[in-house]
Structure 1
Amino acid sequence: MMTINLNNRFFWTTIQKNLFLVNKYTILLIFSFSLFISCNHTENLKVKSLKNDSGWGYIITKDEKIIIKQTVIPVISENKSFKTEEEALKVGNLVLQKLKDNLSPTVTKKDLFLLAIKT
């Protein structure tokens, strides 16, 4: 007759389940913490208008250092500045939001159309 020690088997199964739960919650905690830290890095981003000889542009700064300086309307074939400060800030705020969302800061013709930017 053969006997099986079920207590050891139960004990090992319980440890494996508990380790899985600990690992799952540890990963969730680390992910949440890293997300919090990454969100904090974008809080120092600001957009400002920029007046030039032919119109308006915008700059985006991080901790008072310029990271993007856009003096012409992006995506169009001509080198034209924005006609108004409001237009420049609309596009600047769009780019700023894309940076905060960890997206590419590129602007498309569709973006200009949706923001009602006259080119």
Structure 2
Amino acid sequence: MMTMNIKRIIGITCLLLLLFSILLPCVQYQLKTKPEDHLRLEVIPSGEGWGYQINADQKVMIKQPHIPGLSTVRPFATKQDAKVIGSLVLKRIRHQQDFTVTADDLKLYRIQ
């Protein structure tokens, strides 16, 4: 009877070690993969201009169809302007900074 219990304990222990050795690499990969590695900037048409969105794993995280930080609501005049500000926002997110776009940012990049 005692031998059966020992065999059962050894069997369960081996099974748990096997599961642990299979799951450990998966958990390590998830810990090494930063969420911001899955972020992607996409420039999008918006009305008679351009906007941008930032996607995280195929889901829209930020959709910005107009120039942020202005008192008026209008799209970016050029695709490049939308890309520049979208890239700035993406960079700030990746560096865990406040990603608010200010009037000073728009002046710096000459966006009106």
Check if 1:106 corresponds to 2:109: no
1:56 aligned partner = 50
Alpha carbons of 1:116 and 1:63: their partners in 2 closer, same or farther (altered >3 Å)?
A: same
Picking from 73, 78, 81, the partner of 2:72 is 78
Deviation at 1:39, TM superposition (A): 6.9
Q: Is residue 75 of structure 2 the alignment partner of residue 95 of structure 1?
A: no
Q: Which amino acid aligns with 2:106?
A: L
Cα offset, 1:40, TM superposition: 1.7
Can you give the 5+ residue segments of structure 2 that lack an aligned partner in the other structure? 1-30
Give the SS at the match of 1:59. Answer: strand
Aligned to 1:65: 59
Moved segments of 4+, more than 4 Å: none
Q: Note the C-alpha offset of 1:115.
A: 1.2
| Structure 1 residues 99 and 38, CA gap change in structure 2 (3 angstroms) | farther
- 3-state secondary structure, aligned to 1:51: strand
> How much has 1:113 moved relative to structure 2?
1.0
SS at match of 1:110: helix
TM-score normalised per structure 1 = 0.65
Alpha-carbon separation, structure 1, partners of 2:68 and 2:57: 24
Structure 1 portions without partners, runs of 5+: 1-36
Q: Percent same amino acid among aligned pairs?
A: 34
Q: How far does residue 38 in structure 1 lie from its aligned partner after superposition?
A: 7.7
CA deviation after TM superposition for structure 1 residue 59, in Å: 0.3
Deviation at 1:92? 0.2
Count the aligned residue pairs. 82
Give the residue type in structure 1 aligned to 2:107.
Answer: F
